[in-house]
Amino acid sequence: MLGVLVRAALRPGMVKQCRLVKPVTQIPERSMVHQEGLPKLPVPPLKQTCERYLAMLEPIVSEEELGHTRKLVEEFLKGGVGERLQKGLERRARKTENWLSEWWMQSAYLDCRMPVAVYTSPGIVLPRMHFHDRQGQMRFAAKLIAGVLEFKNMIDTDTLPVESLGGKPLCMDQYYQILSSCRIPGPKRDTVVNHAIGKTPPTHITIVHNFQFFILVVYNSDGTPLTVDQIYMQLEKIWNSSLQTNKEPIGILTSQHRNTWGKAYNNLIKDKTNKESVRAIQKSIFTVCLDAPMPRVSDELYQSRVAAQMLHGGGARWNSGNRWFDKTIQFIVGEDGTCGLVYEHAPAEGPPIVFLIDYVVKCMQRTEIVRSPMVPLAMPQKLRFNITTDVKRDIENAKQNMNIMVHDLDVKVLMFSHFGKNVPKQHNLSPDGFVQMAFQLAYLRMYNVCCSTYESASLRMFQYGRTDAIRVTTADSHSFAQAMEDPDKQNAERVELLRKAVQIHKENTSNAIHGQAIDRHLLGLKLQGIEDLTSMPGIFMDTSYAVAEHYHLSTSQVGSKTDCVMCFGPMVPDGYGVCYNPMDEHINIAITAFNSCEETNAAKFARAVKDALLDMRALLEDTATAEQ
């Protein structure tokens, strides 16, 4: 998704100040050939975006608001402002590899001041593992680490297969950003550093157990990766030297509001030992969190509990301090068999992370622990932290805020087992469109209105492309959902409306992945206005714009081969975050909301989604039978 809210305006010159390493320098030469062969992200025609913007508003704003917005759009188009900003964007597009990517990285992620935990970092829940003790946990972790190192080898040797979407090759840059990188907090704005490109790329990962961090060097002196057996032995050493459970949860600092963490960070690294320890974590290839067991819950609640654990760790007295939330990738392996990961969103979207997971899971299936020759390995280094009074105060503050966040997050994972992509495909419908229409129907049934709905669409057909938005709520999706609730409508008509709505969704998806959606273009025009120091055009100060940007439903499809599900927090205080993995025969759906909002309820929405999916299948079957 997902860090899609532009929470802070960009000031001129900000991109240049950012310590972001230019992506182009991080890619091996062979990939560069592929990268340069990709088209550049286009700037859509201004008139087209304005027309599509008005059409998108139709179902979600009142007639009166729409009338007012029509006038503002006309002024924007005819008064010259729109044309001037458009020209500015086109100039930027000529001068840069991608006119959007740095702006996007800044405005969606690095300027966002909300905590990364829950608010922007997605989690991934892996299937439950059948170990219940520390040996099982470490054996699993050792295999997982070895699998990730195999994956890293494909990045290092530039042998990653190039992915494609709709038959077109995709930009692979994100794969070069996810290992050895870390977000760094700033008092006003964050940065991301990537250590893979330096003169001395890291050879270590970090392991955290009982809130204590360790450096685990994962390569032998000849450059070969440690075997699973060697990693297992090193993990045992780490475990045995971190048995105390009364350590300060230093990592919990990274879960704070970014301004608060930015200040606490400067405080923390005043001390030389602390600075070196923090740097070792930041520089590591990735982190593995060996979590303590969580409270047992019923089988029905298990997946939801794990999703919460991936997003926030369960709270200060559980595993929230067993993290460094700024680290791009943290794999989480619990003693009770829970496993998954949490990732910091700034450098990449979900699909590359899930591709990595699929690869690692496959490696793990074939890896058996083979005893390797007993070459003694050095004891992994424990990272020391001096906890001054100020640091202690910051930790206490972070613990309190984390506990508030934990109580506020409402999570429900729906493992929808009745059918998967197979059913819509059999009826010649796009599975993605079908599932999205079920969300629309569920929402209408719960609230009696439709709402602004976001679905991420990949822009990776273009050089350094990230995402744009598919506007799921359309006049057609609304007509379909209303017809389902209208007792006077016949099933034949409902099916026709469903087919039309799914078709329109498919067209909007195609527009989005081909760089012709409206959201990033509007954002670009707005940011261009800020850079040019022009007064903000009326269309961006309008109620309709605010309604359109307030996504009560923030959704994303992240498909995988592994039976997992990604989850993320809602984008607005009174909305839902919905991520789904449509498999062939079932669909995994993670729904989040905030408990502080009386109107939302993740479990209730999940029930409404389940009912909607079942009713829609019944509708298709009913009309198919009638046609026979």
Nearer to ligand COA, 182 or 567 (CB): 567
CA atoms within 13 A on the CB side of 200: 5
- If binding is defined by CB under 6 A, does position 310 make contact with ligand COA? no
Q: At what angle do helices 491-513 and 431-447 cross, to 10 degrees?
A: 120
Structure tokens at 275: 């600075």
Rounded distance, CA 619 to CA 571, Å?
32
Dihedral of alpha carbons 580, 581, 586, 588, sign = negative
Query: Does the active-site annotation cover 312?
Result: no
Nearer to ligand COA, 381 or 503 (CB): 503
Minimal distance, residue 2 CB to ligand COA, in Å:
5
State the number of binding residues for ligand COA (CB under 6 A).
Answer: 22
- If binding is defined by CB under 6 A, does position 349 make contact with ligand COA? yes
Among 46, 268, 457, 495, binds ligand COA (CB under 6 A): 457
Among 304, 556, 560, 588, binds ligand COA (CB under 6 A): 556
Choose the binding region for ligand COA from 170-178, 292-300, 302-310, 343-351 (rule: CB under 6 A): 343-351
Strands 329-334 and 191-194: unpaired
195, 204, 312, 345: which is the annotated catalytic residue?
A: 345
Minimal distance, residue 451 CB to ligand COA, in Å:
19
Nearer to ligand COA, 92 or 520 (CB): 520
Among 91, 94, 425, 489, binds ligand COA (CB under 6 A): 425
Closest CA to 127 of 405, 346, 434, 339: 339
Among 125, 558, 564, 593, binds ligand COA (CB under 6 A): 558
Rounded distance, CA 242 to CA 592, Å?
34
Nearer to ligand COA, 49 or 560 (CB): 560
Structure tokens at 340: 């998954």
Q: Which residue has the tokens 């205080």?
A: 573
Minimal distance, residue 194 CB to ligand COA, in Å:
19
Q: Which residue has the tokens 């059409």?
A: 55
Minimal distance, residue 284 CB to ligand COA, in Å:
23
Choose the binding region for ligand COA from 206-214, 234-242, 406-414, 453-461 (rule: CB under 6 A): 453-461
Rounded distance, CA 241 to CA 209, Å?
10
Q: Which residues contact 171 (CB under 8 A, 6 or more apart)?
A: 35, 38, 460, 461, 462, 463, 464, 465
Give CA separation, 256 vs 247, 398, 404, 405, 462, in Å: 19, 6, 11, 10, 34
Minimal distance, residue 349 CB to ligand COA, in Å:
4
DSSP 236-300: HHHHHT---S----GGGGGGS-HHHHHHHHHHHTTSHHHHHHHHHHHHSS-EEEEEPPPPP--HH
Choose the binding region for ligand COA from 7-15, 77-85, 314-322, 347-355 (rule: CB under 6 A): 347-355
- If binding is defined by CB under 6 A, does position 428 make contact with ligand COA? yes
Choose the binding region for ligand COA from 155-163, 200-208, 253-261, 554-562 (rule: CB under 6 A): 554-562
- If binding is defined by CB under 6 A, does position 432 make contact with ligand COA? yes
Distance of CA 333 to the CA centre of its chain: 20
- If binding is defined by CB under 6 A, does position 557 make contact with ligand COA? yes
- If binding is defined by CB under 6 A, does position 468 make contact with ligand COA? no
- If binding is defined by CB under 6 A, does position 467 make contact with ligand COA? yes
Minimal distance, residue 63 CB to ligand COA, in Å:
31
Among 303, 456, 588, 601, binds ligand COA (CB under 6 A): 456
Nearer to ligand COA, 558 or 572 (CB): 558
Give CA separation, 518 vs 57, 147, 522, 540, in Å: 12, 40, 6, 13
Minimal distance, residue 512 CB to ligand COA, in Å:
7
Dihedral of alpha carbons 85, 88, 92, 94, sign = positive
Choose the binding region for ligand COA from 7-15, 308-316, 389-397, 550-558 (rule: CB under 6 A): 550-558
- If binding is defined by CB under 6 A, does position 519 make contact with ligand COA? no
Rg (CA), the chain: 25
Minimal distance, residue 406 CB to ligand COA, in Å:
23
Among 26, 96, 430, 516, binds ligand COA (CB under 6 A): 430
Rounded distance, CA 539 to CA 549, Å?
12
Choose the binding region for ligand COA from 260-268, 323-331, 426-434, 514-522 (rule: CB under 6 A): 426-434
Give CA separation, 294 vs 27, 308, 314, 334, 583, in Å: 40, 11, 8, 8, 28
Structure tokens at 291: 């979590």
Among 106, 230, 330, 458, binds ligand COA (CB under 6 A): 458
Rounded distance, CA 496 to CA 68, Å?
33
First to last CA, the chain: 42
Site string for ligand COA, 378-417 (x = CB under 6 A): ----------------------------------------
- If binding is defined by CB under 6 A, does position 278 make contact with ligand COA? no
The answer to whether residues 360 and 318 touch, using CB atoms and an 8 Å cutoff, is no
Choose the binding region for ligand COA from 153-161, 286-294, 300-308, 452-460 (rule: CB under 6 A): 452-460
Rounded distance, CA 276 to CA 309, Å?
29
- If binding is defined by CB under 6 A, does position 173 make contact with ligand COA? no
Structure tokens at 352: 């590359």
Nearer to ligand COA, 509 or 601 (CB): 509
Minimal distance, residue 261 CB to ligand COA, in Å:
23
Choose the binding region for ligand COA from 111-119, 154-162, 450-458, 596-604 (rule: CB under 6 A): 450-458
* Catalytic residue IDs: 345
Site for ligand COA, rule CB under 6 A: 1-2, 165, 349-351, 421, 425, 428-432, 456-458, 467, 509, 513, 556-558
